[in-house]
Every structure is written in structure tokens, then in C-alpha cells.
Amino acid sequence: MRYALYFAAPANDPLMQLGNLWLGRDPFTGKALSQPSLDTLSRDRFEALTTEPRRYGFHGTLKAPFALRDGTTADELVAACTAFASESAPFVLQGLSVNRLGKFLALTPDVPEPDLSAFAATCVRRFEPFRRPLSESDLERRRKSRLTPDQDRNLVEWGYPYIFEDFRFHMTLSNKLEDEGEATTLEAAARAHFQDLTGRFRQVESLGLYCEAERGAPFQVHTIFPLTGTQTPDQSLSKCRGSK
């Protein structure tokens, strides 16, 4: 089993509802959802272009999926999440919009969001004691992405290459899109689908713990933890290649 810490909200949050509908699965219940109908893309093709984000569940990565280190337990992880959420204060995002991230489609911030980057960096560090080191096969798989030396060091030391100064927040909406016509169609459809929520201030007031029962299984929401504390994100944490 693997766990992940994600930017996520309760099931009744409009952003989660729209995201789950777009991907065609509710990670709270595990049920399949009927994706929106697109005039210029068949239902089967839409489903095929969203398989990967559907499996992971609608989210924004804060600490990437990890197996538990020997000597730690799921109950201890949940207790640590509860404590962290009770210490952490909510914060505001200026807004999210549908954009292309390389060949992927995603919801990304409209402007730099230092509090969000700092919150993610804090999650990476705070929950590192629970992470089992990656296997050689996992390292090799990740290294196929042509990582920079800093990203490779992040991968080895922290289990994920895109953290700290390399963190780019995104809520993935598609697989890798190789056909420009399909990419354009899907981008326009996503912009219309999320238009009521994009480009607006958003309060970040919860943290999601997702779990994967076994490798390749769909990720499910384990718990959504409300942020109820007073501690604001430490922005210095996201600006360093910090060692442990």
C-alpha cells in the first residue's frame, strides 16, 4: 500500500466535484462517473485521454506517493496528519486556470503562490520519516524523464524530483497529449468545464491523505483533514535545496 499527501477538499467542494466529473471517477466512493459530453471528441476517446489522472484521483501533489517505512504504521501517519493540520493555518490562492504543462493539461496557479510552495515543502519534510526509500526500479523509472542533477538528488533524498525550487503545482487533467488537435479540443472543453471556478481567489483549508491499496490500483481518499491552526507556511523552506 502507498499513501500520498494531496491538495484536496471535502467531497462537496465544487472544485472537487468538477474535477471528479472531468476525470470520470469519484475517489471518495470509488464509483465511476459519466464524463462531460464533448462535441468534437468521442466519449471513448475522452476516457482514453484521462486514464492516468483518473487512477490517481483529482488532486494536486504535495508529497508524492510513498510506501511506509519499516517501523511506521498507517495509524501513526494519520495521527501525524491530524497534528499537522491542527497546527497549520488556512491560506489563500490568487486563482487557478486551465493550462498546458508540457504536453499535459492541468489546473495551475495564475501567478506565483509562495504560500502554496511553502506548504508543499513543509509537507515533504514533515512526513519524510514515514517514507520508505525508493527501490532501484523506481529510481530508474523516474530517471527516464531526463532529470537535472538537482532533481535527481531530490529523487534519491526525498523520493520525488519536483520539490522545493523545482515544485510546480498542478492538478492534472489529462494523459500526455501527442495530437495537437485533441489537445486543443480538450483544453477548450476544460476551460468551459471549470470556468465558474477559475481565475478566482480560493481558500486552501484542508489537506488530503489518499491511499493506493496495491501498485496500479486506483487511489482513494483516506481522509480530508481541515486546517485549523495558526501556523502560516514558512516560505524559506521552498527556496532551498535543503538536505535532511
Residue 167 is part of a domain; what is its CATH number?
Answer: 3.90.1140.10
Cα gap 161→165, rounded to integer Å: 10
Is 171 part of any domain? yes
Q: How many other CB atoms are found less than 10 A from the CB of residue 59? A: 23
Take residue 118 and report the three cell numbers written for it.
Answer: 511553502
Take residue 85 and report the three cell numbers written for it.
Answer: 493540520
Distance of CA 166 to the CA centre of its chain: 15
Amino acid identity, residue 182? E
Coil, strand or helix at 186: helix
Take residue 37 and report the three cell numbers written for it.
Answer: 459530453
Is 237 part of any domain? no
Is 235 part of any domain? no
pLDDT in tens, the chain (244 residues): 999 999 999 999 999 999 999 999 999 999 999 999 998 899 999 999 999 999 999 999 999 999 999 999 999 999 999 999 999 999 999 999 999 999 999 999 999 999 999 999 999 999 999 999 999 999 999 898 889 999 999 999 999 999 999 999 999 999 999 999 999 999 999 999 999 999 999 999 999 999 999 999 999 999 999 999 999 887 777 665 555 6
Classify residue 146 as exposed, middle or buried by CB count within 10 Å of its CB (0-12, 13-18, 19+): exposed
Q: Provide the number of structural domains found in the chain.
A: 1
Is 244 part of any domain? no
Is 45 part of any domain? yes
Closest CA to 209 of 32, 23, 82: 82
Is 80 part of any domain? yes
User: Which residue segment(s) compose the domain that 88 sits in?
Assistant: 2-229
Residues found in the chain: 244
